Amino acid sequence: DDKDEQYMFSFDKVFYEDSVQADVYEFLARPIVTDAVKAINGTVITYGQTGAGKTYTMEGASILETDNYKKGLLPRVVDELFEAINICGETAAYKIKLSMVEIYMERV
């Protein structure tokens, strides 16, 4: 590469092998869910090499997993969204749209 540009990258947080799903959710997704309840759109993007744990982070051991320890971000987001809506009672109306797209080997 003939470019003389240099880039500096920084991390907000690094999660190690012994990190649990709840820690990732608390740091990464809970603020987004809190904003979503206030009608602010949010997005979580996972990116990395194959086998790095992106799907596990998003879904957990299984998207239908009921073990709270193993739940991924998506089940936790859904649980907390509906919990927040229930707390608001009938004074507000909510429309929820949650999408997940997985691109694997250039296939959606």
pLDDT tens digits, one per residue of 4-25: 788 888 888 888 889 899 999 9
Q: Consult the annotation and say whether 52 binds a ligand.
A: yes
Q: Consult the annotation and say whether 43 binds a ligand.
A: no
Alpha carbons 65 and 60: distance in angstroms, whole number: 7
Q: Is the pLDDT of residue 1 over 70?
A: no
pLDDT average, residue stretch 68-81: 90
Q: Indicate yes or no: pTM above 0.85.
A: no
Alpha carbons 5 and 101: distance in angstroms, whole number: 33
Secondary structure in 3-state letters for the chain: CCCCCCCCCCCCCCCCCCCCHHHHHHHHHHHHHHHHHCCCCCCCCCCCCCCCCHHHHHHECCCCCCCCCCECHHHHHHHHHHHHHHHHHHHCCCCCCCCCCCCECCEC
Q: Consult the annotation and say whether 48 binds a ligand.
A: yes
